Amino acid sequence: MNEIFRDGQAHVICPNCGTELDFSHECGMQFVAPPTPGVHVLKAKENGLDFSKFVAANRDFFKTASAEEVKDKVAEMIREDGYIKNTKGHRRFVTAQMFRMLNHKGGYTAALNEMPYVYQWQMLVGRDKRHASELKTLAHLEKSDEACFKERTMFFNKYVVISMLHHYYDEVVKVLNTAPRHDRYILVKGHGYVDIARLNLAATSAKQLEIELEATEYSYQQIYEKVYDWYKGRFVNLDYTTKKSPAWVNAYKGSGAYYTMMNLIKYHDCKIKLITADGRVLRIGTQLGVGELKRVAPLKQGYELLGMLKEMIKDNNFTPTWK
């Protein structure tokens, strides 16, 4: 094991797998290091499970547990709900994805438009139940972390899901009314001929689910289960270039910009612009910057938060050092 000191804390790095253990004063031992927690990143190994992919696993249990107990506990947590809380990197994957899109040759909008129509649904519910997804995460946070749940539902929430279903219904009806027909089949661009009855079922079931979610106070676990079942059983994919739901686009832009700005303020010494009541322009960072961002974010649309992010990057002359 290699020991290093950073930010006044001791860190131990395994020379074989690269796992970093953070012994902080506030939260005990943590797994820190590379991306994306979840069941799907586990690798079966001769000696058990490889935890080198986890960003962070922070629990009081880790303060006194042995290495073997920690490994067993983390495995149990993942098997239960596929989620490990990231307390260190503040959604680093979101930041990396945002910079990839901002640096796209056509800019952020071009990068977003290149994502296929189905991406919004895969991101919402996952390709299957083993994969992480927004609704699955919200279902977990609703039970376990009120603060993170409240923060995350500023962007993706029940009402975005309802709007997405409404938008999908409209798009399918548009296909049914305008696309070429042959006997009982209809031509869906990019997907060939699709049974008209199947398309009708996709539309009507989307409308029924939209009405049900609007009328019923479901938990996010129930919303996840219902939307997942509809997506796997009734959803028919549309043309790659079909416009994505405006509500989803707004949430995606807002979420990406918010968490990236939070990351830049907390970990990259960037400052956010604040205009005072008397018209003075201040640039604040650290806890004041975090507080200001939390204050203004609920008042902004996604495109406005994206504009704030671009301004922050420019004002701070920030260039990411990662690839």
Do 120 and 227 lie in one domain? The reply is: yes
pLDDT at 31: 46
**Percent of the chain at pLDDT exceeding 70:** 71
Query: pLDDT grade, residue 24 (50/70/90)?
Result: very low
**SS3 call for 20:** strand
pLDDT at 40: 40
76-90, 164-178, 309-323: segment of lowest average pLDDT: 76-90
Rg (Cα) of the chain, in Å, rounded? 22
**Percent of the chain at pLDDT exceeding 90:** 58
pLDDT at 4: 44
Q: Can you tell me the distance from the alpha carbon of 121 to that of 259, in angstroms, rounded to the nearest whole number? A: 21
217-221, 235-239, 243-247, 275-279: segment of lowest average pLDDT: 275-279
Other C-beta atoms lying within 10 Å of the C-beta of residue 177: 8
Structure tokens at 250: 């707004």
Query: pLDDT grade, residue 322 (50/70/90)?
Result: low
Do 174 and 69 lie in one domain? The reply is: no
Do 64 and 151 lie in one domain? The reply is: no
Structure tokens at 196: 């008209």
Q: Can you tell me the distance from the alpha carbon of 189 to that of 105, in angstroms, rounded to the nearest whole number? A: 27
Does residue 193 form part of some domain? Answer: yes
Query: pLDDT grade, residue 27 (50/70/90)?
Result: very low
Q: Is 256 exposed, middle or buried (0-12, 13-18, 19+ CB in 10 A)?
A: buried
pLDDT at 225: 97
Query: Helix 196-215 and helix 158-178: axis angle, to 10°?
Result: 150
Do 275 and 309 lie in one domain? The reply is: yes
17-21, 40-44, 201-205: segment of lowest average pLDDT: 40-44
pLDDT at 44: 40
In the chain, the number of structural domains is: 3
Can you give the residue range of the structural domain that contains 263? 247-315
pLDDT at 191: 85
Nearest to 115 by CA among 133, 97, 89: 97
pLDDT greater at residue 203 or residue 127: 203
Stated as kind and residue range, the H or E segment containing 176 is: helix 158-178
Q: Can you tell me the distance from the alpha carbon of 13 to that of 296, in angstroms, rounded to the nearest whole number? A: 38
pTM over 0.75: no
Structure tokens at 18: 């690269």
On whether the CB atoms of residues 175 and 225 are closer than 8 A, the answer is: no
Nearest to 17 by CA among 235, 6, 41: 41
Does residue 74 form part of some domain? Answer: yes
Do 184 and 229 lie in one domain? The reply is: yes
4-18, 190-204, 246-260: segment of lowest average pLDDT: 4-18
Nearest to 224 by CA among 115, 143, 116: 143
Q: Can you tell me the distance from the alpha carbon of 136 to that of 151, in angstroms, rounded to the nearest whole number? A: 15
Do 179 and 70 lie in one domain? The reply is: no
pLDDT at 311: 95
pLDDT at 67: 64
pLDDT at 65: 63
Would the pLDDT of 58 be above 60?
no
Do 121 and 209 lie in one domain? The reply is: yes
Task: Give one DSSP letter per residue of 89-144, joined into a string.
Answer: SSSHHHHHHHHHHHTSTTHHHHHHHHS-TTHHHHHHH-SSTTS--HHHHHHHHHHH
Does residue 103 form part of some domain? Answer: no
Do 285 and 186 lie in one domain? The reply is: no
Q: Which of these three, 233, 259, 292, is where a domain ends?
A: 233
Q: Using alpha carbons, list the distances in angstroms from residue 146 to 84, 138, 141, 160.
A: 15, 10, 7, 20
Do 228 and 121 lie in one domain? The reply is: yes
Structure tokens at 151: 């923060």
Does residue 311 form part of some domain? Answer: yes
Do 190 and 285 lie in one domain? The reply is: no
Does residue 239 form part of some domain? Answer: no
Does residue 8 form part of some domain? Answer: yes
Do 124 and 156 lie in one domain? The reply is: yes
Q: Please state the rounded mean pLDDT for residues 212-237.
A: 97
Does residue 222 form part of some domain? Answer: yes
Would the pLDDT of 250 be above 90?
yes
Q: What does the angle CA 8 – CA 10 – CA 13 come to, to the nearest 5 degrees?
A: 140
Query: pLDDT grade, residue 89 (50/70/90)?
Result: very low
Other C-beta atoms lying within 10 Å of the C-beta of residue 110: 11
pLDDT at 190: 83
Q: Can you tell me the distance from the alpha carbon of 254 to that of 151, in angstroms, rounded to the nearest whole number? A: 12
Nearest to 121 by CA among 217, 199, 238, 35: 238
Averaged confidence pLDDT in the chain: 80
Q: Which of these three, 81, 108, 139, is where a domain ends?
A: 81
Q: Which of these three, 81, 99, 133, is where a domain ends?
A: 81
Q: Please state the rounded mean pLDDT for residues 35-45.
A: 39
User: Tokens 């409404």 identify what position?
Assistant: 166
pLDDT single digits (tens) 115-167: 999 999 999 999 888 888 999 999 999 999 999 999 999 999 999 999 999 99
Does residue 108 form part of some domain? Answer: no
User: Tokens 């749940």 identify what position?
Assistant: 149
Q: Can you tell me the distance from the alpha carbon of 275 to that of 138, in angstroms, rounded to the nearest whole number? A: 33
Do 257 and 221 lie in one domain? The reply is: no
Q: Can you tell me the distance from the alpha carbon of 45 to that of 30, in angstroms, rounded to the nearest whole number? A: 22
Residues in the chain, total: 323
Would the pLDDT of 45 be above 70?
no
pLDDT at 265: 94
